Chain A
Amino acid sequence: MSSARAVVVGASHAGVQLVTSLRQEGWSGDIVLVGDESVLPYQRPPLSKAYLSGKCSLTELAIRSEGFYLKQGIERVDASVEEVDRSARQVLLSTGDGLSYDALALCTGARPRRLRTPGAELEGVHYLRRSSDVERIREDAIPGRNAVIVGGGYVGLETAASLRALGLDVTVLEAADRVLERVTAPEVSAFFTRIHQEEGVDVRTNASVEALVGDHRIREVVLAGGESVRADLVIIGIGIEPNTELAEAAGLVVDDGILIDAQARTSDPTIVAAGDCTSQDIPRYGRRIRLESVPSAVEQAKVAAATICGKDKEVAALPWFWSDQYDLKLQIAGLNTGYDDIVVSGGPTRDRDFTCYYLRKGEPIAADCVNRPRDFMATKRMLTQGTAVDMAALTAEVAV
């Protein structure tokens, strides 16, 4: 009998961790990692940070070296998976080949949400998700040019910082009344707005884009209300959509992400999924969430690999996230959804370091820490272990 074969679709943070963990958990059969980006799998977060600002090469961003795949006996296939045939236990590749599987993992990730306004197809209008996107942006990012960023989320703000470093004039357009509206407290939004303004970025809120205008190439961005902003290039960062079409077509349950259980199994227990393409009940928060971060992609992938190997492991790690802008390192421990109070330590209106703790019914549930790694690690530990917090100590520091 030929050895069992595990096929992993999508070769990024989730997929690469999954194949690694399969070997660590003792999978001795074949492993095939199918990815459609044609480059050695690389880390995505630096794309809007070090890679955009030209501080590192793609080779330096490899998640694992070429040699890793060879040594671990992991076959990488450069193709897109077009169909999953569950009854035949086979995937169909864009190359026309079929690939049979004994175990299948979907790690298809996400793609940028498209801006549906006229002119969004003009030359000079970019999205930022893949290394090839950044390479195109860099060709366009000539010092002195006007860059307009649509969307004041983390990716948009990081892109603004990187383009400032490259010497461009930068405008950020945010449709809500503050940047990072979806993810942080107003105090934290105000902090990032102040920093970007001090760094020379024109931050405009309540600015919704009506049209992108130019002949052939982008020239200006027209806002609702009629005002327009000159633009030599535009980068759109208005969120992501999970890549769920493959799963849906295969008849798996999808609801804003491929639905997975605590063991990362989809509605077909022989198929697992991990990463940005999934949606999962998170007991810690008592609801279903589609997380968009490397740590959760990695965590789910480890669990998925254990499940394939017949072991029982559950997603337990605390969600966390980070973002680099200028000299600021933001580290976020936990999710702040449902917070009813905050405690701020430090001076976000004047300094470049502070921590914003989020509380629900008096209990801390998350913290945004700017240039305060110690607070971050303390909060991560406290939330992970469920140790009681000394709110008096928190507030004492605040009073200083």
Chain B
Amino acid sequence: MAVVTFMSHDGEQHEAPLEEGSSLMQVATNNAIPGIDADCGGEAACGTCHVIVDPAWADKVGRSGPEEEEMLSMNPERQPTSRLSCQVKVCESWDGLTVQLPEFQM
């Protein structure tokens, strides 16, 4: 089974199976991954599902769109490969993907 690893800011790792067609946010919440709040349930309205994609995976996963950019631009923990995980549809071919969680969701 294809697996994604969520790495907390203090280095704790949590794995979750990649379910084709789900958003990366759903993968996280359906597996009780701490550190993804997803207050708005995936509407790109809250910014509490921020993840930083491993740069090696950034092209595969894709870059943030304009709406996401607006939401992320004010975030102090923002990195070049930051995404709102609710806006990322996952593929089963992404086995081994790693994403970093910020210290705070804001």
Binding site for B on A (CB under 8 A): 20, 23-24, 43, 45-46, 61, 63-65, 67-68, 71-72, 294-295, 298, 320, 322, 324, 329, 331, 372-374, 376-378, 380-381, 384
Contact among B40, B74, B76, B106 for A322, CB-based, below 8 A:
B40
- B residues 18-67 near A (Cβ < 8 Å) are 26, 29-32, 34, 37, 39-41, 43-47, 67
Q: How far is the CA of A24 from the CA of B71 in the complex (A)?
A: 27
Task: Contacts A373-B70, A381-B106 given; indicate if A294 touches B32 (C-beta within 8 A).
Answer: no
Instruction: Determine the distance from Cα of A61 to Cα of B72 in the docked complex, in whole angstroms.
Output: 24
Bound-complex Cα distance A380 to B45 (A): 12
Cβ of A67 and Cβ of B41 under 8 Å apart? Answer: no
Q: Which of A45, A377, A378 contacts B41 (CB 8 A)?
A: A45
A322 touches B45 (CB 8 A): yes
On whether the beta carbons of B40 and A377 are closer than 8 Å, the reply is no
Report B-chain residues with C-beta under 8 Å of the C-beta of A64. Answer: 29-30
A317 CA to B106 CA in the complex, in Å? Answer: 9
B106-A24 in contact (CB<8A): no
In this complex, the interface size class of chain B, counting residues with CB under 8 Å from chain A, is: 20 to 34
Interfacial chain B residues near A24, Cβ < 8 Å = 32, 34
Contacts of A372 in B (CB 8 A): 70
Measured CB to CB, the closest approach of chain A to B62, in angstroms, equals 19
- Asked if B67 contacts A373 (CB within 8 A), the reply is yes
Show 11 residue pairs from A and B whose CB-CB distance is below 8 angstroms, ordered by the A residue: A20-B32, A43-B41, A71-B31, A294-B39, A294-B41, A298-B39, A320-B39, A322-B43, A372-B70, A377-B71, A377-B72
Known: A45-B41, A71-B31, A72-B32. 8 other contacts (CB 8 A): A24-B32, A65-B26, A68-B29, A68-B31, A322-B45, A377-B70, A377-B106, A380-B47
- Please indicate the chain A residues that have their CB under 8 angstroms from the CB of B67 in the complex: 373
Q: Which of A23, A71, A377, A378 has the most CB of B within 10 A?
A: A377
Interchain CB contact under 8 A, A295 and B39: yes
Number of A-B contacts (CB under 8 A): 69
B79 CB-CB contact with A under 8 Å: no
Chain B neighbourhood of A331, CB < 8 A: 45
Instruction: Give the CA-CA distance A80 to B31 in the complex, in Å.
Output: 27
Q: Does B73 contact A (CB under 8 A)?
A: yes
In the complex, the 6 A-B pairs of residues with the closest C-beta atoms, listed nearest first:
A377-B74, A373-B70, A43-B41, A322-B45, A295-B39, A65-B30
Name the CB-closest residue of B to A20.
B32
- In angstroms, how far is the closest chain A Cβ from the Cβ of B17? 9
A329 lies within 8 A of B45 (CB): yes
Task: Give the CA-CA distance A298 to B46 in the complex, in Å.
Answer: 13
Smallest Cβ-Cβ distance to A331: which chain B residue: B45
Return the contact of A46 from the options B39, B41, B44, B106 (Cβ within 8 A).
B41
Q: Is B75 engaged at the interface, CB distance under 8 Å to the other chain?
A: yes
> From B29, which residue of chain A is reached at the shortest CB distance?
A64
Alpha-carbon separation in the docked complex, A55 to B31 (Å) = 26
Chain B residues whose CB sits within 8 angstroms of the CB of A381 once the complex forms: 74-76, 106
Tell whether, in the assembled complex, residue A322 and residue B46 are in contact, meaning their CB atoms are under 8 Å apart. yes
Q: How far is the CA of A23 from the CA of B31 in the complex (A)?
A: 11
Inter-subunit contact B45/A377 (CB<8 Å): no
Among candidates B29, B32, B39, B73, residue contacting A377 with C-beta atoms closer than 8 Å: B73
> Given the interface contacts A294-B40, A295-B39, A322-B45, does A374 sit within 8 Å of B70 by beta carbon?
yes
Cα(A142)–Cα(B85), bound, Å: 36
Measured in the bound complex, the distance between the Cα atoms of B85 and A190 in whole Å is 35
Alpha-carbon separation in the docked complex, A45 to B42 (Å):
11
Residues of B near A61 (CB, < 8 A) are: 41
